[in-house]
A and B are shown apart, each in its own frame.
Chain A
Amino acid sequence: MNRASDSNTMVRLAGVTKSFGRGSSAVTALRGIHLDCGAGRLIMLAGPSGCGKTTLLSIISGILSQTSGDVEVCGVRWSGLNHAQQARCRAELVGYVFQHFQLIPTLTIQLNVAAPLLARGVRYRVAMKSAARSLSDVGLDDRRNAMPAELSGGMQQRVALARALVAQPRLLICDEPTANLDRTTGELMMQMLHAASRSNDISSRARTVIVVTHDFRTLRFADLIYQMEDGRLWPANESLLAQVWQAAMETDTAS
């Protein structure tokens, strides 16, 4: 495995570009992205639809390969790995929370949560035990035999979080995790993600959580906010932070 030298950096992107298509029909989704994320941080990416947030998440998590530039996660350079190695690294290093939960409807909650461990070859009993523990962490211990359709949207997203954390990943990728949740449930989810970024359960190093969001009210949970537009990424400017502050105030007033 191709490991970089700086072990404190959790995610490093250097000059990453991504184009889809060729020739005159080519569309550039990312333009020279640079990013360094340390451990124990909750980083939020904000930006309008189509600005390249999802593409960036896909590249960070090793699901999509960049057109040019370098991507390292926990010291692992994705471009140096073949498909099988990438799959193994994803299973070991990365957890995912998706906008539409992406639970498998024909599996029980517990089996859904155990899936990342089973994918890593962990024995069934051990995986199910860990899944029960993870479900307990998100307050769904009593629903482990339920099917996803029997749960509310908030509960399903908590299951998705339990699934993302069950394998104790170093990096948690969240794509609009509050988009399908009401305000209260969204707040709860963000609190959990914030706690997840602080947890120190696998080694002496903490976990990095990267969240893509449209919801300004959730930005106040961020340690770092990045803004994306037209395939470019930069630290959030003052107007964005002002909007964040305003949203946070409104939330407090409402509660």
Chain B
Amino acid sequence: MNRIALAMLFGRPGRYAAMVCGLSFAVLLMTQQTAIFLGVLIKSTGPLQYVGNVDIWVSTQHTKYINMARSIRNQDLYRVESLPGVAWAEPFCSAKSMAELPDGKFHAVQLVGIDRSTLVGQPPMMVRGKLSNLRGPDTVLLDASQRGCFPGIDVGDELRLNGQRARVVGICRAKTDILSRPLVFTTHKNAVRFAPTGKHAMNWMLVKLKPGENVLRVCQDIQEQLHLAAFPADKLRWITMKYIISETAIGLNFLMTILLGLLVGLVISAATFNQFTTDNLPHFAVLKAIGTRSSTLVRMVLLQGVTTGLISYGIGVGLAALVSLPGRAPDAELTSHFPWQLMLGALAPVVICVVISSLVSIWRVVRLDPVVVFQ
């Protein structure tokens, strides 16, 4: 009877296409919006996206997430370094500043100050110039993805940061934060001059542990002995995303869109599947009259629903992946994250739509009186 069920399903291409299109669109909407939301969350982690080889991020007490940290005193850096288990601790600054171009135009930038000698916190990729050039006086690296903010500025050119002269010695590639401000890398010493906060520019310490040391134990030591906030990198990433979800309306807005997608999918699939069943009721009645059991008819309806759902799921997720492709480019303005868990998770709303749509149809088929075949 499975072949009969499928032949009934595919035998009406128009109706079938309407069902698949509706459900695919809903899957696309839900999956794509979720992918963008995940992308936004990841982008909100700012420097955590590109700073590697660090075990612990340290800042002042009550720090809530990566972009909400106060300045740390220089002596705290030495105190952290002196703790047992710590291999090294380096200053890291992430601060807003203002870049002024030679033609007088200006642009808000995100200044990233890293240690001059070790260059810990460096951009992950250089496009032009050498990273070591950053050790020179008044030098900066510009982020390639935001070059449009600095028209005509190239390696060797100058601009002004916080009123101070800065020389561009390289173009790098790193990931901007959620505000997409252009990243400007410099040394921590320069950052003190380039950032409006001045000598209070350091707001994070990057800590590396000696091999075999327990990250959580050292974090606890930092918190208890130095009264500073210390986070393993993964935890800081998570609390940053959690903060964005709970303290901003971004999550709620995306949730509304995703629920809207679910609702659209549910309504379209239920309406079209119900219409499909209505069209086929006389045929189900014939099958019932010639001796097909209700349980077999239920299986047929479920097979039709599951087949429609799976094909729609495939098309919807495929389209969502295609739409997300531009967001995967290194300098993409669009942001989306499309992990396999999202692909798997997109099955859940499809199952909900299929089950609810099928239940309505099953109810009608089970209650169908085969006597209509004689009428």
Residues of A within 8 A of B (CB): 54, 57-58, 61, 63-64, 83-84, 87-92, 94-96, 98-99, 102, 104-108, 111, 115-116, 118-120, 124, 163, 175
Contacts and interface: CB of A to CB of B under 8 A. Distances in A.
Contact of A115 (B10, B12, B290, B295): B290
Interface residues of B, number: 27
B282 interface: yes
9 contacts: A83-B294, A84-B295, A90-B290, A90-B291, A98-B374, A104-B286, A106-B7, A111-B7, A163-B290
Given A102-B282, A106-B8, A106-B11, A88 B371 contact: no
B4 A104 contact: yes
Given A58-B374, A115-B287, A87 B12 contact: no
A87 B293 contact: yes
B365 to A, nearest CB: 13
Contacts of B375: 54
Interface string B338-372: 00000000000000000000000000000001110
B173 interface: no
Contacts of B369: 63
A105 B11 CA distance: 8
B11 A107 contact: yes
Nearest to A84: B293
Contacts of A98: 286, 373-374
Contacts of B3: 111, 118, 124
Nearest to B295: A84
Given A54-B375, A175-B374, A63 B7 contact: no
Interface in B1-57: 1, 3-4, 7-8, 10-12
A56 B341 CA distance: 59
Contacts of B289: 61, 63, 90, 96
A96 B296 contact: no
Contacts of B290: 90-91, 95-96, 115-116, 119, 163
B208 interface: no
B8 A104 contact: yes
B227 interface: no
B97 to A, nearest CB: 68
B214 to A, nearest CB: 63
Contacts of B371: 58, 63-64
A107 B10 CA distance: 10
Given A104-B4, A106-B12, A111-B4, A120 B291 contact: yes
Nearest to A61: B289
A110 B4 CA distance: 11
In the A-B complex, the 7 residue pairs with the smallest Cβ-Cβ separation, listed nearest first, are: A106-B11, A91-B291, A119-B292, A90-B291, A104-B283, A54-B374, A116-B290
B370 A63 contact: yes
Nearest to A160: B286
A241 B300 CA distance: 48
Given A64-B371, A124-B3, A107 B8 contact: yes
Given A104-B4, A115-B287, A88 B293 contact: yes
Nearest to A90: B291
B288 interface: yes
B4 A96 contact: no
A142 B290 CA distance: 25
Interface in B266-319: 282-283, 286-296
A84 B297 CA distance: 12
A119 B283 contact: no
